[in-house]
Amino acid sequence: MRVLAALSGGVDSAVAAARAIEAGHDVVGVHMALSRNRDEFRSGSRGCCSIEDSNDARRAADKLGIPYYVWDLSDEFHDTVVQDFLDEYAAGRTPNPCVRCNEHIKFDTLLERATALGFDAVCTGHYARIELRNDGVRELHRAADPAKDQSYVLAVMGPAKLARSMFPLGTAPSKSHVRAEAAARGLGVSDKPDSYDICFVADGDTKGFLQRSLGERPGAIVDESGELVGEHQGAYAYTVGQRRGLGIGRPAADGAPRYVTGVDTARNVVTVGPETLLSVTTLTGEDVVWLAPDVPASAPVRCEAQVRAHGAPVPGTVVRADARVTVELDEPLRGVAAGQSLVVYDGSRVLGQATVGSRRV
């Protein structure tokens, strides 16, 4: 097959490309330039897709002996990922930009261009497994290494994109194994630190990024009874379940810590309360992407629900109907915010994904 390997400049994508070559595919490397700042460099292990990363990707392609190109996708990235991030926070929701990047950039724009150029598949360094059943259904599964599993952020891609994707690292036993493989192959990125946090917030200060982008909007912090307990500089900078950085001068009457229990950006009010108000047992998800055509649409199905990339899955029952899913959890889940990605699993298999709309006890 003709395979387009997305080279981020990190060790994972380089080894994934090497494995695709070893499997006999005709591989071409491409680096996606996502930053509008051409002079931007990484800050430690924060961020990705900088000039430094582009240079590392080029050196990896040279070592692998494959053609290499850089595609400027900075406008698409800003319009579909960065702007969505700002719009969601401005609406009082908590988005996951990695999910949006996978949806709109890596498995939409990139795959669309690859298909137009005659490539059969896109190869990335994500940790997830694709299993092909005897009946032709492709299943997305968790990676062999639970610590590196990225099926949560990939669930949004849908069946059509899954059919044209390759994840050679899905069976890797550990990240240390991948680094050792990179070193054995002579890839200079073998000891490069992982990127983390939000790539377009290179200094890690998400609150500061939101304030610079959305401006300060002073408002009230109130408790569950409506009593004023503090002030903020913008309700958009808070998320349900947050405890630190609230700036509340005095503790609750019982001395217990307070958490953000509600964010109303229309009224510019943040509500705080005890931890007990954070637990929910019912989740409703919108904009459903279903990856299991063999699973009935309306019948209740046992599942495990996950609402954070590295969060613990919670058992429950899912029902899918009218472009929505409703999950009844067996046990309460704490601190779920509207806008988060809800992924439902059957064991290691991803059944589907949706965006959290409402939640209740």
Domain with 328 in it: what CATH number?
Answer: 2.40.30.10
Q: What is the pLDDT of residue 36?
A: 65
Residue 133 located in a structural domain:
yes
Q: What is the pLDDT of residue 272?
A: 94
For residue 190, what are its two tokens?
A: 């073998």
Residue 127 located in a structural domain:
yes
Q: Which domain, by its residues, includes 288?
A: 278-360
Report, as residue numbers or ranges, the catalytic residues: 101, 199
Is 115 found in the same domain as 153?
Answer: yes
Highest mean pLDDT among 7-11, 33-37, 307-311, 347-351: 347-351
Q: What is the pLDDT of residue 45?
A: 45
Residue 229 located in a structural domain:
yes
Is 163 found in the same domain as 26?
Answer: yes
Is 352 found in the same domain as 285?
Answer: yes
Is 27 found in the same domain as 165?
Answer: yes
CA distance 194 to 213: 27
**Residue 38: burial class (beta carbons within 10 Å; 0-12, 13-18, 19+):** exposed
Is 21 found in the same domain as 148?
Answer: yes
For 234-284, how does the pLDDT look when each residue is reduced to its tens digit (9 = 90+)?
999 999 999 988 888 677 777 788 999 999 999 999 999 999 899 999 999
Q: How far is CA 69 from CA 66, 185, 258, in A?
A: 10, 21, 51
Report yes or no: 359 and 283 within 8 Å, Cβ to Cβ: yes
pLDDT of residue 39 exceeding 70, the answer is no
Is 269 found in the same domain as 289?
Answer: no
Residue 158 located in a structural domain:
yes
Query: Between 143 and 257, whose confidence is greater?
Result: 143
Report yes or no: 37 and 218 within 8 Å, Cβ to Cβ: no
**Helix (H) and strand (E) counts for the chain?**
10, 17
Is 166 found in the same domain as 127?
Answer: yes
Is 293 found in the same domain as 253?
Answer: no
Domains in the chain: how many in total?
Answer: 3
Q: What is the pLDDT of residue 253?
A: 75
Provide the CATH number for the domain around residue 162: 3.40.50.620
Residue 331 located in a structural domain:
yes
pLDDT of residue 197 exceeding 70, the answer is no
Strand partners, 123: 5, 166
pLDDT band at 361 (very low <50, low <70, confident <90, very high): low
Is 179 found in the same domain as 42?
Answer: yes
Residue 210 located in a structural domain:
no
pLDDT of residue 57 exceeding 70, the answer is yes
CA distance 93 to 79: 18
**Residue 324: burial class (beta carbons within 10 Å; 0-12, 13-18, 19+):** middle
Residue 36 located in a structural domain:
yes
Q: Across the chain, what does the average pLDDT equal?
A: 91
Above pLDDT 90, what percent of the chain?
73
Q: What is the pLDDT of residue 202?
A: 73
For 73-129, how does the pLDDT look when each residue is reduced to its tens digit (9 = 90+)?
989 999 999 999 999 999 999 999 989 998 889 889 999 999 999 999 999 999 999
pLDDT of residue 40 exceeding 60, the answer is no
Q: What is the DSSP letter of 300?
A: -
Q: What is the pLDDT of residue 244?
A: 87
Q: What is the pLDDT of residue 333?
A: 93
Domain termination residue (choose one: 273, 288, 320) = 273
3-state secondary structure 316-349: EEEEEECCEEEEEEEEEEECCCCCCEEEEEECCE
Is 240 found in the same domain as 314?
Answer: no
Q: What is the pLDDT of residue 282?
A: 96
Mean predicted confidence (pLDDT) in 314-327? 93
Is 284 found in the same domain as 266?
Answer: no
Residue 29 located in a structural domain:
yes
Residues 6+ apart with CB under 8 A from 254: none
Is 110 found in the same domain as 61?
Answer: yes
Q: Determine if residue 44 is left, alpha or beta; phi over 0 gives left, psi from -120 to 50 gives alpha, anything else beta.
A: left
At how many degrees (to 10) do helices 206-214 and 83-90 cross? 90
